[in-house]
Amino acid sequence: MTITEEARRLIETGPVCDSCLGRPFAARSFGLTNGERGRALRTTVALADDEPYESTAPIDCWVCEGYCGTFDALAETIVAELEGVRFDSYQVGTKVPPLVEENDRLFREDAGFEPDVGELFKREVNREVGRRVGGLTGAEVSFDRPDVLAVIDLSGFDPLAEEPVTSHVVDVQINPAFVYGRYRKLKRDIPQTEWPCRECGGSGRQLEPTGEEPCEHCDGTGYMYPTSVEQVVRPHVVEAMDGEEGTFHGAGREDVDARMLEGGRPFVLEVKRPQKRRPDVAAIQAAINETGNGVEVDGLRLATYEMVERVKELEASKRYRAEVEFGEPIEEAALQAALERLEGATIEQYTPQRVDHRRASLTRTRTVYEATGSLDADDPTTGTVDIHGAGGLYIKELISSDDGRTEPSLAGILGTKAVVTALDVLAVEGEDEPFESEEFFRES
Ligand SMILES: [Zn+2]
Ligand SMILES: [Zn+2]
């Protein structure tokens, strides 16, 4: 069958608009719209048959029932709904009424075609409306992870109505935006994320016979600690991106009483419903570092959403510095010999006693890459020990032995008590590759 014969059979199914007529031929002649294909086919059939040329408006089309005439209005409505929102990429999705989907199949079957030949109606709406949104905004289509997603519900309006397309026909979703950085915690007793008071559940109030009173446990703040890294960082980023809320994702976390120094720890701040996606990260960083409450950030950059998984999942080694108190005076040579034995050793650690009891107890093995240190010059019962170890190594237990649950340990090798009195994390670095890989960043 020639293409003219094919087109004639489709036209004979009833009044059909140019877009619907062209759609079964969507795989032919790249660079045309389906409307252009349909118009050309209709012209060809009219010339071949020497019949008067008669076009069919979408509102008279039995297949799309008028929806093909609403692409412009749909695109304009989406753009209006996104007013004030900055985005570089978008995607359009469409919910098609089942009856129209059925028409689209019947149209082909009535003419003796396969029911899904060419392009289906839903894809045409997505593509045609999407193309128009791109033209109006300059943004690019992205099927992977668009900044914004507009979902059109065609059941929500009647194309034959006077002003059919209204804002409730489109649902606009704004995807989160992400900022990566490293934080340092220069003071102890700052948790990484906000920690609601366990007595009052974060409300800051408790119920007394006399009525509601401020919670005694948290002085009415609702928090276990006055601040957290999250609470210092989050407001600056959320505000700069004009978002609704933010979530902090850290590459692991140190104990509340440990400082995080030197290289800092990677984190991602996720901002929900940002109106701006390209804030001045240097200004955000400066503003955070000016707050001066023991939290600093470094290397702030815009990141992709994959960076969240990366900071959470990438295997990282850690460097620690521990202040250690021994049960008796130690010889410097004995300490050096003990550290030498730990270096390169595989440590077996049964779940520490201090760890959450709900966690299943098991023995894990972790490697110590480096162990160095020295006694304090004026006190042979105290010293400083630096450990570089695989992620998940429990340092306090590596020093103390945790009543024999960690083997080997510094206390075990020395044959005396050893307790960490202060702990700092100096570095958190990927085992095999750095966290800061360019493919996980966005241009600012
Ligand atoms: Zn149509
Ligand atoms: Zn409380």
CA distance 16 to 49: 18
Beta-carbon contacts of residue 119 (< 8 Å; ≥ 6 apart): 23, 24, 26, 27, 34, 127
Q: Tell me which residues have their CB within 5 A of the ion that is ligand 1.
A: 17, 20, 61, 63-64, 68
pLDDT reported for residue 49: 87
Cα 195 to averaged position of ligand 2 atoms, centre (Å):
11
pLDDT reported for residue 143: 87
Cα 205 to averaged position of ligand 2 atoms, centre (Å):
6
* Tens-binned pLDDT, residue by residue, of the chain (444 aa): 789 999 999 999 999 999 999 999 999 888 999 999 999 999 999 898 888 888 999 999 999 999 999 999 999 999 999 999 999 999 999 999 999 999 999 999 999 999 989 999 999 999 999 999 999 999 999 988 899 999 999 999 999 888 888 888 999 999 999 999 999 999 999 999 998 998 998 999 988 888 888 999 999 999 989 899 999 999 999 999 999 999 999 999 999 999 999 999 999 999 999 999 999 999 999 999 998 889 999 999 999 999 999 999 999 999 999 999 999 999 999 999 999 999 999 999 998 888 767 777 789 999 999 999 999 999 999 999 999 999 999 999 999 999 999 999 999 999 999 999 999 999 999 999 999 999 999 987
Q: Catalytic positions, please?
A: 255
Q: Relative to the alpha carbon of 60, which ligand is closest? A: 1
Give the residues across from 214 on adjacent strands: 205
Q: What is the maximum alpha-carbon separation in the chain?
A: 110
Q: What is the 3-state secondary structure (H, E, C) of 395-413?
A: HHHHHHCCCCCEECCHHHH
Going by the DSSP 8-state scheme, the letter that residue 344 receives in this structure is T
* Dihedral over alpha carbons 365, 366, 371, 376 (to 10 degrees): -70
pLDDT reported for residue 211: 85
Neighbours of 167 (CB within 10 A): 11
* Cβ-based burial of 147 (10 A; exposed 0-12, middle 13-18, buried ≥19): buried
H/E stretch holding 312 reads helix 306-313
Residue type, 250: G
The two structure tokens encoding residue 343:
């270096």
CA distance 421 to 406: 18
Cα 80 to averaged position of ligand 1 atoms, centre (Å):
25
pLDDT reported for residue 71: 96
275 touches 243 (CB < 8 A): yes
CA distance 322 to 63: 74
